[in-house]
Chain A
Amino acid sequence: MNMFPEVLNLYGDRGNIICLQKRCVWRGIEVNIFEYNLDSNKEILKNADIILLGGASDREQSIVYSHLLNLKELIKSLIEDGVVVLAICGGYQLLGEAYVDSSGRTIKGLHILDFITKAEGKRLIGNIIIETSLDVFPKTVVGYENHGGRTYHDYQPFGKVLKGYGNNGKDGFEGLVYKNVIGTYLHGPLLPKNPHIADFMLKKALERKYALNSSEFQKLDDTLEYMAHNKVKELYM
């Protein structure tokens, strides 16, 4: 389920959905992609196995905000039930309680999780490399971050920053993991160059839906994926 792709699509995040789709198709897993748009029926969200929530510019984000607010309880119950969510940048910030902008104004979030984001000083921009807390191999995750907000929380982080800024440029952590939710600032887009994260999400979704044993999960030839992954490490670590 790609949430509001007409609006919440920034910095190539479309690549994440392309990646998940292809990696299912290559394994012979049937996949249906739904775009949840401003005029979509709430019911279709109930059957989602994976939800992608991207970010957008302030103006565009405000367009979808009121729609998302109507879905708050539903999304919350889906998350508690273990649905897989990838929330990036503005989408990640929306999961929290609030965003405090540079003039001190508070913009409410969905408040599905307890954390806040504050706008502080200059934007944090550049290549980023982290060591993830997830049980995957390799441990590194590479991407590109570009955000003005600083996020502070006590949840499990998505990873430890090896290079770049992460959540706030101070505490050395990036993103958030809660149940099967990954919140992160990593664009790039995230999944194509980090196939282990893409597969982690797919496995979790399949386990939840079909109680799949992970040994049944076919391995793909990811030579090219890891060449791109390693190039970022080589150039920017």
Chain B
Amino acid sequence: MENIRLYIAILLGMIVKLMLKLFGKDATSAPGKIALKIYPGIMKEINKRSKLKILISGTNGKTTTNNIINWLIGNDKIVLSNLKGSNMANGIVSSFINNFRSSYDIACFEVDEGSLPVVTRYLKPDIFVTTNVFRDQLDRYGELDRVKELILSHIGQALAIINADDPNLVSFSVENKVFYSVDENLLSRKTNVTLDSRFCPLCNTKLEYLFYNVGHLGKYQCLVCGYKNPESRFVITNIREDLEGFVFDFVDRETGIHIENIRWKMGGVYNLYNVCAAISVAVLIGVEEKRIKERIETFENKLGRLEKKEVGGKKVIISLVKNPIGMSETLSVISQDPDPKAIVFILNDNAADGKDISWIWDADFDILCRIENIKALYFGGKRKEDMALRVKYSEYVLANFEFIDYKEELDKVFEQKDIEKVYILPTYTALFEVKKVVDDLSKRMG
């Protein structure tokens, strides 16, 4: 009986997928939704058919980390994954329907924190990667402490790969674990304004930091109870900047593996954490050192996390922003680019974006003052006025700006003569729409 339900579920899922494809729509969620309705236990099948299961959860970096892990594993293994970031139960089941097979070498999924209870009920991970815990869409998950507990309680029997630089995560009472971290580098800071987590999880004293890498990720210690970063097995170290991004070494302190001078083409210190977590997984599942270096150096982001395109001779950089730290870090990355530019902010407040948009006030928009050559700012999305207002109340003087309908009027931005680059910073639901618009414009305007 279960088998019949399974096949009906898959069949209907596939029909939905075909219909969506026919109308040129995205099939990352709806096929799974219908299949789950018919057979709620369908994830048991994914569990059964996959030899090795990896889950990735945390506030930021899930999609990038997942994509790097997939890229590191490569094509010689059969991998089932939700690469496009559709990370709730519907998305995971959709990926199964879209890539349906009798068995997989590896299942590698990013999982939304709020979906962990339903996903881990059926899907039992061998490896569980935790990225970090930041303030995100609090209307869904409640406060920081609860998100922490959500992640903690669903690691199960897996080997946990934990970010040692996040004081929230290391206090986890998980038995089977290894830590990773990113060393101090040129972009590390001694002070920080956008902090989510300032208190020792053991004794509630204010934590002292030797340096901050991203938000509250860094080297910390509690002067009262002695709590500090645990010793990491996997470390990104000897970090240097070059024109295109970073050059760094990766060290596995347990086995002595030391991969030198890896070139990484994406900006942002936060991405180093994603790379570190991904290489840690690769090392643990036996990917060769040489291949790791080659693959990291050829990784290209296709998913709107600092993705690069071109329209009408202008470079377009699209970067998803969905929480304060992501916004602050993205603005920091832009501040390293001296070229004449326009920045397009797109703020939606649909369920997947987070209905509460107050997070924009926790981001550090004063960084705009450090960005050279801003020729214009554009604001789009359902809550564009709120975004403009946020910038008005930063230290940056909001003078040259315009509201636009990002679905209809984006070409206006590219017609602007005095710019070479366009940065587009959309929230989640706007990301896919704006990418499509940019692709269409790219075809039209070259």
Contact = CB atoms under 8 A, between A and B. Distances in A.
Nearest to B403: A227
A144 B139 CA distance: 10
B143 A57 contact: yes
B383 A146 contact: no
A144 B358 contact: yes
B389 A192 contact: yes
Nearest to A21: B393
Q: How large is the interface on B (under 10, 10 to 19, 20 to 34, 35 or more residues)?
A: 20 to 34
B389 A22 contact: no
Contact of A59 (B145, B359, B361): B145
B204 interface: yes
Given A146-B138, A192-B389, A11 B199 contact: no
A13 to B, nearest CB: 8
A231 B393 contact: no
B358 A15 contact: yes
Nearest to B394: A18
B385 A228 contact: yes
Instruction: Give chain A's interface secondary structure class.
Output: mixed
A8 to B, nearest CB: 12
A228 B358 contact: no
Contacts of B388: 224, 227-228
Which of A7, A12, A56, A58 has the most chain B CB within a 10 Å cutoff? A12
Q: How large is the interface on A (under 10, 10 to 19, 20 to 34, 35 or more residues)?
A: 35 or more
Given A6-B198, A193-B386, A227-B385, A146 B356 contact: yes
Contacts of A11: 138, 356, 358-359
B370 interface: no
A189 B359 CA distance: 9
Contact of A127 (B146, B355, B360, B390): B355
A45 B360 CA distance: 29
Contacts, number: 86
Nearest to B391: A224
Instruction: Give chain B's interface secondary structure class.
Output: helix
Given A57-B143, A57-B144, A228 B355 contact: no
Interface string A164-195: 00000000000000000000000111001100
A189 B361 contact: yes
Interface in B126-167: 138-139, 142-146
Contacts of A224: 385, 388-389, 392
A11 B143 CA distance: 10
Interface string B258-281: 000000000000000000000000
Nearest to A23: B393
A184 to B, nearest CB: 14
Interface in B362-396: 362, 382-383, 385-386, 388-390, 392-393
A169 B142 CA distance: 19
Nearest to A148: B142
Contact of A188 (B138, B204, B358, B382): B358
B206 interface: yes
A125 interface: yes
A14 interface: yes
A38 interface: yes
Given A126-B355, A146-B139, A187-B358, A15 B206 contact: no
A19 interface: yes
A15 B386 contact: no
Interface in A214-230: 224-225, 227-228
A63 interface: yes
Nearest to B365: A18
Contacts of B362: 9, 12, 14
Interface string A196-237: 000000000000000000000000000011011001000100
A69 interface: no
B382 A235 contact: yes
A18 B389 contact: no
Given A19-B393, A60-B199, A228-B386, A189 B358 contact: yes
Interface string B342-363: 0000000000000111111110
Contacts of A192: 361, 389-390, 393
Contacts of A123: 142
A7 to B, nearest CB: 8
A11 B388 CA distance: 18
Contacts of A126: 139, 355
Contacts of B393: 15, 18-19, 22, 192
A9 B199 CA distance: 13
Interface string A14-55: 110011001000000000000000100000000000000000
Given A60-B199, A146-B139, A12 B389 contact: no
Contacts of B392: 224
Interface of A: 6-7, 9-15, 18-19, 22, 38, 56-60, 63, 123, 125-127, 144, 146, 187-189, 192-193, 224-225, 227-228, 231, 235
Closest 6 pairs between A and B when the two form their complex, measured CB to CB: A12-B358, A12-B361, A15-B361, A57-B143, A228-B385, A227-B385
Given A15-B358, A57-B146, A63-B199, 16 more contacts: A11-B138, A12-B361, A12-B362, A14-B361, A56-B143, A57-B145, A58-B145, A60-B199, A123-B142, A189-B361, A192-B390, A193-B386, A224-B385, A224-B389, A228-B383, A231-B383
